[in-house]
């Protein structure tokens, strides 16, 4: 595929529309590429909306702001953390978490989009999103993977510039656009909420946010050093069990963090990554040093998909 030609064509197509458009940007590759292409076509008639749900990765909000600034995209960063945390109080069931986050996201997004008086919604839908769902019937299999029915709810016409592309092609387009986001691993819509087993309180979320950051950072460095190939996804989850540890000369109960890293080409099946023990050692030591009072045990998930899934919830 000729990425430059693709970008030029899509910009031309979108330039042809009459009216204004909004795009929901999560910081991931697909939505960022869609936003940048649409922004180049529509200039100030595009508004990119990023909602900080409180379940985003460490530094995500700062990173996306800087991408918008650099690319000159008209944008709004919405700090909705309190609203989401409130809605998630006492919620333990993974599907309920997904539903609540999806609905809340629609609420917040709609509120902002209405203010902008948009006619169109730009989405970063890519080929596997609809192919895996059985062609026309796009929502069947991966319904839980969409962040809620934005278009139907809002009555906006859809613009999906990446509709026919596969992930590696989107990454190529991202590189052509000069986006660092190009190499980013996939991140689920409900975010860190489904990486905290059980209730995703702000405190527990903070622990998993830091642990995910450390896993990403250490594996990123190890990849650069040639110690392993970059896995498809690599992150941490916070388990709902406390175990005994030693804190100074006292016994203490602390949280347990699991490390998950997999190789995959499409997320439908996956093999656990054989991370070198030295790298695991660095991750474990850094997590337990950084969060001395919270975490005293780190375990490594060695399950393939199937029978496991990539995420734990």
Binding site for ligand XMP (CB under 6 A): 98, 144-145, 186, 188-190, 233, 267, 305, 309-311
Q: In what order do the strands lie in the sheet with 120-122?
A: 75-79, 46-52, 21-24, 120-122, 157-159
Q: Which is nearer to ligand XMP, 233 or 296 (CB)?
A: 233
Question: 3-class SS at 204?
Answer: helix
Q: Which is nearer to ligand XMP, 18 or 229 (CB)?
A: 229
In whole angstroms, give the CA distance from residue 213 to residue 226. 20
| Closest distance to ligand XMP from the beta carbon of 105 (Å) | 11
* Nearest of 102, 121, 97 to residue 48 by alpha carbon: 121
| Closest distance to ligand XMP from the beta carbon of 35 (Å) | 17
- Segment (H or E) for 263: strand 250-263
| Closest distance to ligand XMP from the beta carbon of 101 (Å) | 8
102 in Cβ contact with 190 (< 8 Å):
yes
Q: Which is nearer to ligand XMP, 20 or 230 (CB)?
A: 230
In whole angstroms, give the CA distance from residue 159 to residue 8. 16
Cβ contacts of residue 308 below 8 Å, gap of 6+?
301
Q: Which is nearer to ligand XMP, 138 or 145 (CB)?
A: 145
Q: Which is nearer to ligand XMP, 145 or 230 (CB)?
A: 145
| Closest distance to ligand XMP from the beta carbon of 97 (Å) | 9
| Closest distance to ligand XMP from the beta carbon of 216 (Å) | 14
167 in Cβ contact with 25 (< 8 Å):
no
């Amino acid at each position: 595929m000729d990425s430059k030609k693709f970008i030029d064509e899509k910009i031309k197509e979108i330039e042809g529309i009459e009216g204004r458009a909004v795009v929901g940007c999560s910081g991931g590759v697909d939505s960022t590429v869609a936003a940048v292409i649409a922004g180049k076509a529509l200039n100030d008639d595009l508004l990119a909306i990023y909602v900080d749900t409180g379940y985003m990765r460490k530094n995500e909000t700062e990173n996306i702001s800087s991408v918008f600034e650099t690319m000159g995209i008209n944008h709004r960063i919405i700090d909705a953390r309190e609203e989401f945390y409130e809605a998630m109080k006492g919620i333990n069931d993974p599907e309920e978490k997904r539903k609540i986050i999806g609905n809340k996201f629609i609420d917040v997004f709609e509120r902002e989009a209405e203010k902008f008086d948009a006619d169109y919604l730009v989405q970063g839908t890519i080929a596997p999103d609809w192919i895996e769902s059985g062609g026309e019937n796009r929502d069947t299999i991966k319904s839980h993977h969409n962040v809620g029915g934005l278009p139907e709810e809002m009555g906006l016409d859809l613009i999906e510039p990446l509709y026919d592309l596969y992930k590696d092609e989107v990454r190529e387009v991202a590189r052509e656009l000069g986006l660092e986001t190009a190499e980013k691993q996939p991140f689920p819509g409900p975010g860190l909420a489904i990486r905290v087993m059980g209730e995703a309180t702000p405190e527990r979320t903070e622990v998993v946010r830091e642990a995910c950051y450390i896993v990403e950072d250490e594996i990123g460095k190890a990849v650069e050093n040639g110690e392993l190939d970059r896995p498809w996804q690599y992150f941490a989850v916070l388990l709902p069990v406390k175990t005994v540890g030693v804190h100074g000369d006292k016994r203490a109960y602390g949280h347990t963090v699991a490390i998950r890293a997999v190789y995959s080409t499409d997320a439908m099946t996956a093999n656990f990554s054989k991370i070198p023990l030295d790298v695991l050692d660095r991750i474990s030591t850094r997590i337990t040093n950084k969060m001395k009072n919270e975490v005293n045990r780190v375990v490594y998930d060695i399950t393939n998909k199937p029978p496991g899934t990539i995420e734990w919830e």
